[in-house]
Amino acid sequence: NAGVTQTPKFQVLKTGQSMTLQCAQDMNHEYMSWYRQDPGMGLRLIHYSVGAGITDQGEVPNGYNVSRSTTEDFPLRLLSAAPSQTSVYFCASSYGGGNSPLHFGNGTRLTVT
């Protein structure tokens, strides 16, 4: 099992460019989510999905789009990159809610210049 796979590991964008961060899991998890991690601020939820075809906004959704066409994949799209989106992005999945722990990808370090 690969677990949660995120690509790319590093990315540099110029302001205004768009891109998609890829996330895939092979554990048949219903729940998937995207977080950003900034220094001193812990993890902040961007978007999440409780199953294929269902997505919802988290704490900091502005500037990001998601879709969930399959159980396995949950891509995060940056529509028009801004320097404020410079961060480390983590994708995570879990079997469900409750006491199901999140399984994280290894992260994507994004720099917007």
Residues that bind other proteins (CB under 8 A): 31, 33, 40-45, 48, 50, 58, 88, 90, 92, 94, 96-99, 101-104, 106-107
Question: Which among 90, 68, 113, 111 is positioned nearest to 3, based on CA atoms?
Answer: 90
Min. distance of Cβ 16 from other proteins in angstroms?
28
For the bound state, the minimum distance from the C-beta of residue 111 to other proteins, rounded and expressed in Å, comes to: 15
Shortest Å, Cβ 80 to other proteins: 26
Query: Residue 11 or residue 17: which is nearer to other proteins going by CB?
Result: 11
Q: Which is nearer to other proteins, 8 or 16 (CB)?
A: 8
Which residue from 105, 104, 108, 62 is spatially nearest to 84, judged by alpha carbons? Answer: 62
- Least Å distance, CB 4 to other proteins, is 10
Q: Which is nearer to other proteins, 19 or 43 (CB)?
A: 43
* Identity of the residue numbered 86: T
Q: At 108, list the tokens.
A: 């994507």
Spatial separation of the C-alpha atoms in residues 53 and 28, rounded to whole Å = 15
DSSP secondary-structure letter at 100? P
Tokens of 2: 């690969």
